[in-house]
Amino acid sequence: MKTIDHYGHWTKARTGKQKILSREINSLKLISKVMKRDGSFLDAGCGNGFFMEFIRRLFPKVYLSGLDYSKSEVLEARKRGFKVKQSDFGEGIDFPKDKFDLVYAGEVIEHLYDPDFFLEEANRILKPNGFLVISTPNLCAWFNRIFMFLGIQPLFVEPSTKSKFVGSGFLKRFKEDSNPVGHVRIFTLEALKDMFKMYGFKVLEVRGNPYEEGFPKKLSFIDKIFAKISPGLAGQFVILVQKK
């Protein structure tokens, strides 16, 4: 199946200055723990280069590269001065073996038809003992457990490619529009850990993050509490793994 560019949804959602999210802050904290000052970094799914701006500020000597499927986002990232390629991860990652010290994939793996192939490719392009940082939504978030009990489609899981209202029940009133974001596979924390183990990675650290996009503000404080208590209950998580 042909990959679909879902960035139109995010382009419409952006209003004013783009803000950094907690999952990106946690990703930066994990990256800062292991990134070499003069190392090499790939943002796999870099979008318009927003996250790479922070890497450039924190690590001015790092070799930076980016990949994204969206031609329009690639052009925006290039305007920021980044070396970015247009790429479909379903066809592989267009870099040689043992190229990077760290690969970052923020909110990417849930959009892929073949996450196994992506992890194989990430392992291939990482140097020995290199690092991978991934952020992704949590299928077993505390609120999704409640929604499933009530017979409501859990957040992040989209049964329709045309409308995210399908199966959402009373949640429709909280959704700003009906455009799907293109999620294909949503993971539990344990499932993702198993995937990493299958493809030669060792899990070093997991951090829970609240779900910040489209979540009712009256419930957001509860989400933040669960994110601190247990990553397995958080709305999203960030994982740092190392190539064995």
**CATH number, domain at 23?**
3.40.50.150
Residue-wise DSSP of 109-145: GGG-S-HHHHHHHHHHHEEEEEEEEEEEEBTT-HHHH
Q: Check: CB of residue 45 under 8 Å from CB of residue 103.
A: no
Number of domains in the chain: 1
179 vs 142: which has the higher pLDDT: 142
Instruction: Determine the average pLDDT of the residues in 183-194.
Output: 95
What tens digit of pLDDT does each residue of 149-162 get?
Answer: 999 888 888 878 78
Q: Does pLDDT of 168 surpass 90? A: no
CA proximity to 48, closest of 27, 72, 20: 72
Domain enclosing residue 67, as ranges: 19-139+183-243
Averaged confidence pLDDT in the chain = 89
Structural domain contains residue 148: no
**pTM, 2 dp:** 0.89
Task: Name residue, tokens 């990553």.
Answer: 231
Q: Check: CB of residue 89 under 8 Å from CB of residue 121.
A: yes
Q: Check: CB of residue 237 under 8 Å from CB of residue 244.
A: no
What tens digit of pLDDT does each residue of 10-44 get?
Answer: 554 444 567 899 999 999 999 999 999 999 999 99
Residue 227, both tokens: 């994110």
Q: Does pLDDT of 49 surpass 70? A: yes
Reduced to 3 states, what is the DSSP secondary structure of residue 104?
strand
Question: What's the confidence (pLDDT) of residue 182?
Answer: 84
Q: What is the CA radius of gyration of the chain?
A: 17
Task: Give me the phi and psi of 224, to 5 degrees please.
Answer: -65, -35
CA proximity to 226, closest of 151, 140, 156, 135: 140
Question: What's the confidence (pLDDT) of residue 124?
Answer: 98
Cα separation, 118 vs 90, whole angstroms: 7
What tens digit of pLDDT does each residue of 76-114 get?
Answer: 999 999 999 999 999 999 999 999 999 999 999 999 999
Structural domain contains residue 80: yes
Alpha-carbon torsion 121, 122, 123, 125, what sign? Answer: positive
Residues 69-83: b if buried by 16+ CB within 10 A, e if exposed? bbeebbebbbeeebe
Structural domain contains residue 9: no
